[in-house]
A and B are shown apart, each in its own frame.
Chain A
């Protein structure tokens, strides 16, 4: 084994990156998020922005699964978010007993994700037949239909919106859900299923011929992606304490798309960076008033011209990639060497 690695000219640690980095980052983040909420280390405004960053990271990385890894073009992510937001809000406001909402909040978030995943199942079905631009239309139409449907549902306030949620979304909760979703999406991408997703992006027909069950893979990818969008929506609703259908229109979907492509497709670290930069930059530029909304798209266009794949673009930090992925490569190399030697 060591001969293989030496022939590559790099040590094992250099290949895999610092494995202790990510766990310590997560622990430090948890401690910090609890402390910040408990001892008022940060002022509420900064905390609010951090929570938005977390929610946007969930949205961007879940959309990256479809758009970046699977190579489809979904433009209706805000629709799933709306489903999750309304489901969770209805649960906490109308269904759960008044005193227990604080304890039952994770359940509401989970339910938001599950209902959204159920809707994702419906959207996944057209993706079996149509691809590319036509699938983009299907997802777009879905987004519009969800928005239009909520506007016509008087029970949830219709176009006036829905309010009455308590502010249940706190920094530790956002951190928890962000870490959970990023972790699950990362593990999915580097699993056997993830290879199926990548093979669909590279060549759907070829992967079908290589006995990848493309329908199955697409279905799961859409369900997982919409599940996390629903979770993000639930968190968003309980952070803002007010939602209306116009918040989840095509402009919101475009925002999420920009985060994904800014960070780079096919890279979860890219989605994290993209969501962070997008959210923070919008806040920093707030004194510019309306002109910040002019500057942002301009920056995006310039970035796309000079770096069409986004900031990370199909790359990943070494410490972010699961260990078994490197082990698989090592195993493959060893087998290949053995085969080469015997032939």
Chain B
């Protein structure tokens, strides 16, 4: 029982990181119907910015987190302006290929700058508490609480503010909304900034939890977060959160009962089975095709 509780805690930690990244995918998809494949690599950039802030600038946890989030948000907005905006009228696949290209560019650019894996110094005082056999570290508490806080904040922004209303309106109908005086370009920029900064925050947390970072770390985590977004129903913000926790849970469960090499195998097989029964994800709605 304590073993299960311990694993549940690990699942919560991994799941909240997946969920934070999945939010970026799903927000961009909701507003542009485009998969931003560079998002996993923005997550990686977030971890590297945290490394720079902690090692070279000697900043503590909160300033490094804010710096990474701001840096990644800026990068996200710049990528959107330069790479995706010219392609808004182009065929959808061109935008997807561009996103793939941007992602590979970010990976290899980081690789060319620092070819060796880096080690993020511990920014959080390491403390362990034990509750009836279940041990919990300060880092785990921080990751889980901070991601839940960020998710509540995001949910508030999307559901209760004017910007959020504009986002939801644009994802509802892209042709009518600009006619109502909504500045579409600015709302898209804000969406990118918010979505990618969440990815940056996830990068920092991931870097603290698993301190060795390398330029290719964003690929696998990014794809898994993307899967979380699809499991929850892509374009749906609450779905992305649920999907992240589900995938984290599945992965930890597999690692707990099977050899850890089967982790990816079971996670992806699970995804396939789920997509057979719910082809549009858990919270996603099927889009009826009009003929």
A-to-B contact residues, CB < 8 Å? 67, 73, 126, 129-130, 133-134, 136-138, 140-142, 144-145, 147-149, 151-152, 159, 205-206, 209, 250-251, 254, 257-258, 261, 265, 290-291, 293-294, 296-298, 300-301, 304-305, 308-309
Contacts and interface: CB of A to CB of B under 8 A. Distances in A.
Interface in B50-99: 83, 86-87, 90-91, 93-94, 96-98
A291 B115 CA distance: 11
B232 to A, nearest CB: 12
Interface stretch (B9-17, B170-178, B202-210, B268-276): B268-276
Contact of A308 (B87, B226, B259): B87
B5 to A, nearest CB: 28
A144 B268 contact: yes
9 closest pairs, A vs B, by CB?
Answer: A308-B90, A308-B94, A148-B265, A293-B108, A297-B105, A141-B268, A300-B101, A297-B104, A297-B101
B291 interface: yes
Given A141-B227, A301-B83, A301-B101, A130 B261 contact: no
Contacts of A265: 93
A177 to B, nearest CB: 27
B279 A73 contact: no
A151 B264 CA distance: 11
A267 to B, nearest CB: 14
10 contacts: A126-B272, A134-B279, A137-B275, A141-B271, A145-B264, A250-B223, A258-B100, A300-B98, A304-B87, A304-B90
Contacts of B259: 152
Contact of B261 (A67, A151, A308): A151
A257 B275 contact: no
A133 B35 contact: yes
A236 to B, nearest CB: 21
A261 B94 CA distance: 8
Given A73-B93, A148-B268, 19 more contacts: A129-B279, A133-B234, A134-B275, A137-B275, A140-B223, A141-B269, A142-B272, A144-B264, A144-B268, A147-B264, A152-B261, A205-B289, A257-B100, A290-B108, A293-B108, A293-B112, A297-B100, A300-B97, A304-B101
Q: Which of B87, B103, B234, B279 has the most CB of A within 10 A?
A: B279
Contacts of B87: 304-305, 308
Given A126-B276, A137-B227, A297 B102 contact: yes
A155 to B, nearest CB: 15
A148 to B, nearest CB: 4
Choose among A134, A136, A265 the residue with the greatest number of B CB atoms under 10 Å from its CB: A134
B156 interface: no
Given A133-B35, A294-B109, A305 B86 contact: yes
Nearest to A205: B291
B98 A304 contact: yes
B111 interface: yes
Given A148-B268, A257-B100, A308 B91 contact: yes
B91 A309 contact: yes
A206 B86 CA distance: 31
Contact of A73 (B86, B96, B234): B96
B223 A304 contact: no
Contact of B93 (A67, A293, A296): A67
Given A126-B275, A138-B275, A304-B87, A145 B112 contact: no
Nearest to B35: A133
A8 to B, nearest CB: 29
B279 A254 contact: no
B97 A257 contact: yes
B230 interface: yes
